[in-house]
Structure 1
Amino acid sequence: MTERLPAVILAGGRATRMGGGDKPLRPLGGRAILDHVIARMKPQCAPLALNANGNPARLAGYGLPVLSDSIPDHPGPLAGVLAGLDWAAGLGASHVISAAGDTPFFPVDLADRLWAARSPAGLALAATRDETGKTWRQPTFGLWPVALREDLRAALEGGLRKVVLWTDAHGAGEAEFATTPIDPFFNINRPEDIDEAERLLGLTA
């Protein structure tokens, strides 16, 4: 990839398994989970934006655009992707990269690998393979073409919520990443996951 693409960090989930609130703002290793995510993304993509709903002032300290969903009723990560696509279109970018705001160890070569794996439609998702050989797609980590944003908007307005149903319909490519020594897509969903993330942080230091 000869130039860096914009990226949107999906931080708009309702964190029900964490007891509510802004999960990416929970502390990890002395700073917010979101700080770790931004630090991983900054060398790969520019500019960056956050997708989050509610009062954007709580994220003002990051100095990044805060994009709210344009589709009502919290329809899930695809709405955040669409917000990122609309923002990227305003920048004149051809694509946007997405990453989850609760996944602090994602690969440092995510953007390049997604770009290399893109399909003819310009789509790609990150993926891993388990010990049985089964492939697991990581639907919040993807490369999304601006050219498909109206198609995505129509799908969301029609009730589609599952990421892979839409990406499969457009033949998304897959960028497969190793899960050793740690799973780079370990995400923090529950309070006990913070303890595991602290352990993993020590392995990546």
Structure 2
Amino acid sequence: MKIAGIILAGGLSRRMGGQDKSLIELGGKSLISHCIDRLQPQVSTLAINANGDPLRFDTLSLPVIADVIEGHAGPLAGVHAGMQWAAKQNDITHILTAAADTPFFPTTLANALASSISQNDENAIAMAKSNDRLHPVFALWPIAIFNALDDFLINQKTRKVLAFTDQFMLIEVSFDKSGDETQLDPFFNINTAEDLETARTVLQKVQP
């Protein structure tokens, strides 16, 4: 198994003044930079999925791929674009998606998800879970199912991630709260100014 990482950096935050969430500053660097620092060591290659002007990510020195499917199709459009890009890279078999607004996700994410898939389940999708809640954006996807995803996005009215994954074996992989004093859900994401303040407090506790 050879994995490409795809950071899903979609959209503006209506609850945070309409700014690009992925570029919001946390502890001296952008949210997406925190995500890159966590994901890059876990994968063979890495790209950003985002629409709009790619130059806003120019300093990150990573490929920026836009959705191919039109109409704001949500996370699945990012998975679709990521698979299409990864298929052109050397020997990539899977993509690992992660959200740019989730700065504390596990550094063991790739290993845990990959270990859950046996060789007999080559089309299985492994998805992160915490506190009995699935996190569809944090998943390991085989690029072999690209055609099925393409057909789903073109022909189905719903764009819900779990509606698509119902077609395949879905393996749920549980992650506990962080072992440090914060006891934070590892998939805590930033949607509001209050969330950002929480993240800043957490960062102060976990950084030396």
Where 1:6 maps in the other structure, the secondary structure is strand
State the distance in 2 between where 1:118 and 1:101 align. 25
Paired residue type of 2:74: G
Q: How far did residue 21 of structure 1 move? A: 2.5
Structure 2 residue 57 is the aligned partner of structure 1 residue 59: yes
Runs of 4+ in 1 over 6 A off after TM superposition: none
Q: How high is the TM-score relative to the length of structure 2?
A: 0.90
Where 1:42 maps in the other structure, the secondary structure is helix
Contact 2:2–2:94 at 8 Å: present in 1 too?
no
Where 2:69 maps in the other structure, the secondary structure is coil
- Residue segments in structure 1 that go unaligned for 5+ positions in a row: 130-134
Structure 2 residue 104 is the aligned partner of structure 1 residue 105: yes
Contact 2:124–2:168 at 8 Å: present in 1 too?
no
Where 1:126 maps in the other structure, the secondary structure is strand
Of 4, 18, 21 in structure 2, the residue corresponding to residue 23 of structure 1 is 21
Q: 1:150 is matched with which residue? A: 147
Instruction: For residues 88-147 of structure 1, give each alpha carbon's deviation from its aligned partner in whole angstroms, at most 9, with x where no partner exists.
Output: 111131111000000000001000001112372231100012xxxxx2100100000111
Q: How far did residue 4 of structure 1 move? A: 5.1
State the distance in 2 between where 1:198 and 1:25 align. 15
- Residue segments in structure 2 that go unaligned for 5+ positions in a row: none
May I ask how many residue pairs the two structures share in their alignment? 198
Instruction: For residues 29-88 of structure 1, give each alpha carbon's deviation from its aligned partner in whole angstroms, at most 9, with x where no partner exists.
Output: 111111111000111112110000011111111110001000112110110011110011
Where 1:141 maps in the other structure, the secondary structure is strand
Q: How high is the TM-score relative to the length of structure 1?
A: 0.92
State the distance in 2 between where 1:169 and 1:17 align. 34
State the distance in 1 between where 2:97 and 2:197 align. 25
**CA RMSD across the alignment:** 1.4
Paired residue type of 1:165: A
Q: How far did residue 169 of structure 1 move? A: 2.3
Q: 1:17 to 1:153 in 2, by over 3 A?
A: farther
